[in-house]
Amino acid sequence: MYKLNMPGAVFSGEQALLSLDDLGMAGENVCMITDHGVIKAGVADRVLSALKQAGAQVRVIDQVPPEPAYQDVQRLATAFAEGRFHSLVAVGGGSVMDTAKLCSIVADGGSVKELLQTPGKGKKVVRTVMVPTTAGTGAEATPNAIVAVPEEQVKVGIVNHQMIPDAVILDPEMIRGLPANIAAATGVDAMCHAVECYTSLAATPFSDLYALEAIRLIFSHLAAACLSPEAMESKAAMLLAAFYGGVAIQCSGTTAVHALSYPLGGKYHIPHGIANAVLLMPVMRFNLDACAERLACIYDALAMRGADAQIEKAQAVLDRMETLVKQIRIPSGLEAYGVKRDDLEDLVQAGMGVQRLLKNNRRTVTAADARMMYRQVLN
C-alpha cells in the first residue's frame, strides 16, 4: 500500500499569485510571514498587494531568521497565536515555510519544544498558504519542518501530516531576482531530494513519478536558472522541480546525503543546500554499485546517450550531477566554512545518529564509511 498526500490546491505559472483571489480571503484576518531578505528583495510586497486586492486584512511578521532554532519559531508562534488569524501565508524559502507550518499547529496552545518529542500533538487551526521564493526545499509539499536545537548542536525534523499546506502558489516572479549563490545551493538541494528519493529504499511508484520528472527538469534547467538572470522559463521549471522533489520526499524519504549533512547545519550553521551539495558526490560514489539499477533507470528515462552497460549508465548520471554542481560554482569542500579535520569524529558520531534517513540508504553506512565520506570534503 502506498500513500500520496498532496496540498489542497496548487497554482503554478505566470501570474499564479493572482489566484490568492480564489481562496476566499475577503474580510479575513490574514498573517503574512516572511523574512528580511525576502522583504529586501521586493517580492513580499507583491504578495501583500495581491492579498489586499483579494480583500484580506493583513498583518506582517517578518522576523524569521535563516534556518531557525525552535526557540525562534516559538517566539514567532506566540506572536502569531495572539493575532487570532484565519489564514497564514508564508512568503519565503524553507526557513519561512517551516516556521509557518509549525506556527499553524502550535497556535492552539502547544509548544514547539513539545513537538520535538511528540510531533503528532500539534493540531492545525488555520488555513496555510505557501508561496516559495527559493526553488529548492520543496517544504511547500512536505509534512516536515526542520529546526535547529542549539543546545544539542543538531537540526531536527518534525513530521506532522497536518503541516501539508492547504494551498501552494508557484509563481516564477518570486524567484526572478534570487541571487545566483542561493539559487545554486537551493537548486542542488532539490536535486538531492529527487535523486535520493528515487534511489531510496523507501521509494514508491508515486515518489518515482515525481522524482524522475524533477530530475529531468533539474538536469535541463538548473544551470540556466542560476547563471542567466533572465531565464524565466528555467526558473519556472526549477520552481516546479523543487515542488515535485517535496512531493517525492513525502512518499519516499531522503538518504545518506541528507543524513550526513544534518550535523553540518546543526553544529557549523552551513546552509542546508550547501551542506547537501558538498556531500552529494562522495555519497553518490559510495552508493554507485548499490544504486546502479536505479541510476540506470534515470539514464533511460531521460533518454541520455553514449553508455551501454548498467554501470556505465549509472556512472553517466553521476557525471552529469558532478558537472552541474561544478558549473553553478558550489564549493566542493568545507574548509571555507570553518570545519576542520579535528572535527571529523564529532561529525561521524552526529551523522551516524541520523538513522531515520540512513536506514533508507541502499548501501549500509557504517561509521567507517561515514568517516571516509566526510574525509573527502575536509581538505
Ligand X SMILES: NC(=O)c1ccc[n+]([C@@H]2O[C@H](COP(=O)([O-])OP(=O)(O)OC[C@H]3O[C@@H](n4cnc5c(N)ncnc54)[C@H](O)[C@@H]3O)[C@@H](O)[C@H]2O)c1
Cβ proximity to ligand X, 88 vs 314, nearer residue: 88
Q: Given the C-alpha cell 483571489, which residue does it identify?
A: 21
Q: Name the residue nearer to ligand X (CB basis): 54 or 357.
A: 357
Fill in the per-residue mask, 47 to 66: x = in contact with ligand X (CB under 6 A), - = not in contact: -------------------x
For 179, residues 6+ apart whose C-beta sits below 8 A from its C-beta are none
Q: Which does 134 bind (CB under 5 to 8 A by kind): Zn ion, ligand X, none?
A: ligand X
**What distances in angstroms separate CA 79 from CA 59, 74, 121, 244, one per listed residue?**
11, 9, 20, 32
72 binds ligand X, rule: CB under 6 A: no
Binding mask 166-205 vs ligand X (x if CB under 6 A, - otherwise)?
--------xx-xxx--x---x--x----------------
CA 76 to centroid of chain Cα atoms: 21
Supply the minimum distance, in Å, between the C-beta of residue 350 and ligand X.
15
Min dist. Cβ of residue 138 to Zn ion (A): 8
Stretch that binds Zn ion, among 48-56, 95-103, 187-195, 314-322 (CB under 5 A): 187-195
Closest contact distance (angstroms) between CB of 193 and ligand X is 7
Measured from the Cβ of residue 108, the count of other Cβ atoms closer than 10 Å reads: 12
When asked if residue 360 is in the footprint of ligand X (CB under 6 A), the reply is no
Confirm or reject binding of residue 189 to Zn ion (CB under 5 A): yes
Residue 362 CA, chain-centre distance (Å), reads 21
Partner from Zn ion, ligand X, none contacting 95, C-beta within 5 to 8 A by type: ligand X
**In whole angstroms, what is the distance from residue 6 CA to residue 81 CA?**
26
CB of 238 to ligand X, least distance (A): 12
By the 8 A CB rule, do 258 and 192 touch?
yes
Site membership for ligand X, residue 133 (CB under 6 A): yes
- The pair phi, psi for residue 90, each rounded to 5°, is -95, 130
Cα(215)–Cα(378) distance, integer angstroms: 28
Stretch that binds ligand X, among 106-114, 131-139, 213-221, 361-369 (CB under 6 A): 131-139
Torsion 317-278-215-198 (CA) sign: positive
**C-beta closer to ligand X: residue 190 or 370:** 190
- Residue 67 CA to residue 55 CA, distance in Å, equals 32
Binding residues for ligand X, rule CB under 6 A, total: 35
Pairing relationship of beta strands 144-149 and 154-159 according to DSSP bridges: antiparallel
98 binds ligand X (CB under 6 A): yes
65 DSSP assignment: P
- Contact between 142 and ligand X by CB under 6 A: the answer reads yes
98 near Zn ion, judged by CB under 5 A: no
Nearer residue to Zn ion within complex by CB, 98 or 189: 189
**Interaction partner, residue 273 (ligand X, Zn ion, none; CB < 5-8 Å by kind):** ligand X
User: How many other CB atoms are there within 10 angstroms of residue 223's CB atom?
Assistant: 18
In terms of Cα–Cα distance, which of 199, 129, 191, 125 is closest to 328? Answer: 191
- Is 7 among the residues that bind ligand X (CB under 6 A)? no
Sequence length of the chain is 379
* 136 binds ligand X, rule: CB under 6 A: yes
69: DSSP letter = B
Assess contact for 344 and 374: CB atoms under 8 A.
yes
Could you tell me which residues are beta bridge partners of residue 148?
Answer: 69, 155
Q: Which one of ligand X, Zn ion, none is in contact with 104 (Cβ closer than 5 to 8 A by kind)?
A: none
Looking at the Cβ atoms of 19 and 134, the one nearer to ligand X is 134
Judged by beta carbon, residue 138 or residue 282, the one nearer ligand X is: 138
Cα gap 206→86, rounded to integer Å = 32
Q: Which residues bind ligand X (CB under 6 A)?
A: 35, 37-38, 41, 43, 66-67, 92-96, 98, 133-134, 136-139, 142, 144-146, 155, 174-175, 177-179, 182, 186, 189, 249, 272-273
Q: Which residues bind Zn ion (CB under 5 A)?
A: 189
